[in-house]
Amino acid sequence: MIGHQIALIKRELWEHRAIYVTPLVIALIVSIMAVTGQVVLSAFDHEVSIAIIGASNLGATERAAAITVLLAGVSSLLVMAMWVLTVFYSLDALYAERKDRSILFWRSLPCTDAETVVSKLLTAAVVIPLITFVVVMLTHLIVLALASLWLGFQGADAWHLIWRAAPLPSNWTATLVFLLALPLWLSPFIGWFLFVSAFTRRSPLLVAFLPIVILPLLERSLIGTSLFFDALFVRTGSLPLFRGLSTGEIFTYQGDDWSVGDRLPSGLLSLLDLSRFFGSPSLWIGLLVCGLFTTAAIYVRRYRDDS
Amino acid sequence: MTSLVSARGVSKSFGSVRAVDDVSFDIDKGKIMGLIGPNGAGKTTLLKAVLGLTDCEGSLSVLGLDPFRQRKELMQNICFIADVAVLPRWIRVNQLLDFVESVHPRFSRTRADELLARTKILPKAKIRELSKGMVTQLHLSIITAVDATLLVLDEPTIGLDIIFRKEFYSNLLNDYFDKERTILITTHQVEEIENLLTDVMFINEGRIVLHASMDALPERYVELMTSGENAERARQLNPIFERDVFGKKVLTFEGITRDQLRGLGELRTPGIADLFVAKVKGAAA
Tell me whether A155 touches chain B (CB under 8 Å): no
Question: Are residues B193 and B109 both part of a single domain?
Answer: yes
What is the interface size between A and B, counted as CB pairs within 8 Å? 74
Question: Torsions phi, psi of B27, nearest 5?
Answer: -125, 125
Q: Are residues B162 and B232 in the same domain?
A: no
Whether the pLDDT of residue B2 is over 80: the answer is no
Are B95 and A14 in contact (CB < 8 Å)?
yes
Do B55 and B170 have their domain in common? yes
User: pLDDT tens across B99-125, in order?
Assistant: 999 999 999 999 999 999 988 999 999
Q: How far apart are CA B20 and CA B203, in angstroms?
A: 9
Q: Which of B55, B100, B139 sits opposite A109 (nearest CB)?
A: B100
Q: For chain A, what percent of residues have pLDDT higher than 70?
A: 91
Where b means 16+ CB within 10 Å and e means fewer, A236-251 reads: eeebbbeeeeeeeeee
Choose the final residue of a domain: B205, B233, B257. B205
Question: Of A14, A101, A108, which has the smallest distance from its Cβ to B79's Cβ?
Answer: A108
Same domain, B16 and B124: yes
Which among A103, A111, A307 has CB closest to B103? A111
Same-domain status, B146 and B227: no
**HEC states along A243-265?**
CCCCHHHHEEEECCEEEECCCCC
Going by C-alpha positions, the residue among B176, B169, B168, B159 that lies closest to residue B194 is: B169
Torsion sign, CA atoms A46, A50, A51, A55: positive
Query: A11-53: per-residue pLDDT in tens?
Result: 999 999 999 999 999 999 999 998 888 888 777 877 777 887 7
The pLDDT value given to residue A250: 63
Determine which of A98, A104, A113, A118 to mutate to test the interface with B (most B C-beta atoms within 10 Å): A104
Tell me, yes or no, whether B40 and B140 share the same domain: yes
Asked whether the beta carbons of A64 and A267 are under 8 A apart, the reply is yes
Q: Report pLDDT for B26.
A: 92
Q: Nearest to residue A51, comparing CAs of A41, A61, A37?
A: A41
Flag if A15 and B105 touch (Cβ within 8 Å).
no
B192 and B91 together in one domain: yes
Q: Is A18 in CB contact (< 8 Å) with chain B? A: no
Which residues have C-beta within 8 Å of that of residue A34, sequence separation ≥ 6?
A: A142, A143, A146, A147
Residue B237 lies in a domain: yes
A285: Cβ contacts below 8 Å, ≥ 6 apart? none
> In terms of domains, do B243 and B263 share one?
yes
Which residue from B86, B89, B98 is facing A104, i.e. has the nearest CB?
A: B86
Residue B273: C-alpha distances to residues A293, B34, B170, B214, B240 (Å): 49, 12, 21, 13, 15
Q: Under an 8 A CB cutoff, do B54 and A97 touch?
A: no
Cβ distance of B95 and A97 shorter than 8 Å: no
| Residues A67 and A172 sit within 8 Å (Cβ to Cβ) | no
Q: Kindly state whether residues B174 and B244 are assigned to the same domain.
A: no
Whether the predicted pLDDT of A178 surpasses 80:
yes
CA–CA separation, B241 vs B218, rounded Å?
16
**How many C-beta neighbours within 10 Å does residue A213 have?**
9
Q: Does the structure show a pLDDT above 90 at A265?
A: no
What mean pLDDT do residues B53-58 have? 88
CA distance A107 to chain B (A): 8
Partner B contacted by A3 (CB < 8 A): yes
Domain that residue B111 falls in? 3-205
- Give the pLDDT of residue A264: 60
Residue B210 lies inside a defined structural domain of this protein: no
Taking the complete model, does pTM exceed 0.90, yes or no? no
CB nearest B85 (choices: A101, A111, A112): A101
Same domain, B111 and B155: yes
On whether residue B120 sits in a domain, the answer given is: yes
Measured CA to CA in angstroms, residue A304 lies from A72, A90, A91, A296, B17 at distances of: 45, 19, 18, 11, 18
Question: Position A62: which residue type?
Answer: E
CB burial of A289-305 (b: ≥16 within 10 Å; e: otherwise) equals bbeebbebbbbbbbeee
| pLDDT (tens digit per residue) in A104-127 | 899 889 899 999 999 999 999 999
Q: Which residues of A touch B75 (CB under 8 A)?
A: 107-111
Q: Could you give the residue ranges of the DSSP H alpha helices within chain B? A: 43-50, 71-77, 93-103, 109-117, 132-144, 162-171, 190-193, 217-220, 228-235, 258-261, 272-284
d(CA B185, CA A273): 62
Beta-carbon contacts of A84 under 8 Å, excluding residues fewer than 6 positions away, are none
Task: Provide the phi-psi class of B125: left if phi over 0, else alpha when psi is between -120 and 50, else beta.
Answer: beta
CB-CB neighbors (< 8 A) of B82 in chain A: 104-105, 108
Of A17-26, A92-101, A233-242, the least confident: A233-242
Cα–Cα distance measured from residue B165 to residue B150, given in angstroms and rounded to the nearest whole number: 21
Q: What is the spatial distance between Cα B47 and Cα B1, in angstroms, rounded to a whole number?
A: 21
Is 90 exceeded by the pLDDT of residue A290? yes
Q: Is B15 helix (H, G, I), strand (E, B) or coil?
A: coil
Q: List the CATH number of the domain containing B59.
A: 3.40.50.300
Is the per-residue pLDDT at A92 higher than 70?
A: yes
User: How much is the ipTM here?
Assistant: 0.85
Instruction: List residues of B whose CB lies inside 8 A of any A CB.
Output: 44-45, 48, 51, 53-55, 71-73, 75-76, 79-83, 85-92, 95, 98-100, 102-105, 139
The amino acid occupying position B140 is: L
Residues B258 and B185 in one domain: no
Tell whether B26 and B85 lie within a shared domain.
Answer: yes
Examine the pLDDT at A246 and tell me if it is beyond 70: no
The reply to whether B277 falls in a domain is: yes
Domain membership of residue B173 (yes or no) is yes
Question: What would the DSSP string read from start to end of B89-122?
Answer: TTSBHHHHHHHHHHH-TTB-HHHHHHHHHTSS--
Whether B18 maps to a domain, the answer reads yes
Q: Where are the alpha helices (DSSP H) in B176-267?
A: 190-193, 217-220, 228-235, 258-261
Lowest mean per-residue pLDDT among A170-184, A247-261, B198-212: A247-261
In a domain, B211, yes or no: no
Least confident of A135-139, A292-296, B250-254: B250-254
Strand partners, B183: B32, B151
Identify the domain boundary among B205, B226, B251: B205
Q: With pLDDT > 70 as the criterion, what percentage of chain B qualifies?
A: 97
Partners of residue A97 in chain B, C-beta under 8 Å: 88
A6 and B CB contact within 8 Å: yes
Interface test with A, best of B13, B43, B53 (most A CBs within 10 A): B53
The pLDDT score that the predictor gives to residue B53 is 86
Q: Which of B50, B71, B86 to mutate to test the interface with A (most CBs of A within 10 A)?
A: B86
Has residue B200 got a pLDDT over 60?
Answer: yes
Cα–Cα distance for residue pair B21/B9, rounded to 1 Å: 8
pLDDT of A256 strictly over 70: no
C-beta of residue B157 within 8 angstroms of C-beta of residue B189: yes
Q: What is the pLDDT of residue A255?
A: 66
For residue A95, the chain B residues in CB contact (below 8 A) are none
Q: What percent of chain A has pLDDT over 90?
A: 48
Contact list, B83 vs chain A (CB under 8 Å): 101, 104
pLDDT at B87 over 70: yes
The tally of domains found in chain B comes to: 2
Give the one of A7, A103, A303 whose C-beta lies nearest to B103's C-beta. A7
The answer to whether residues B36 and B200 touch, using CB atoms and an 8 Å cutoff, is yes
Query: Which one of B158, B175, B205 terminates a domain?
Result: B205
Does residue A178 or residue A234 have the better pLDDT? A178
Residue range B125-184, pLDDT digits in tens: 999 999 888 898 899 899 889 988 899 998 888 878 888 888 888 888 888 887 788 999
**Is A104–B83 a contact, with Cβ atoms under 8 angstroms apart?**
yes
Query: How many angstroms separate the CA atoms of A131 and A12, rounded?
Result: 13
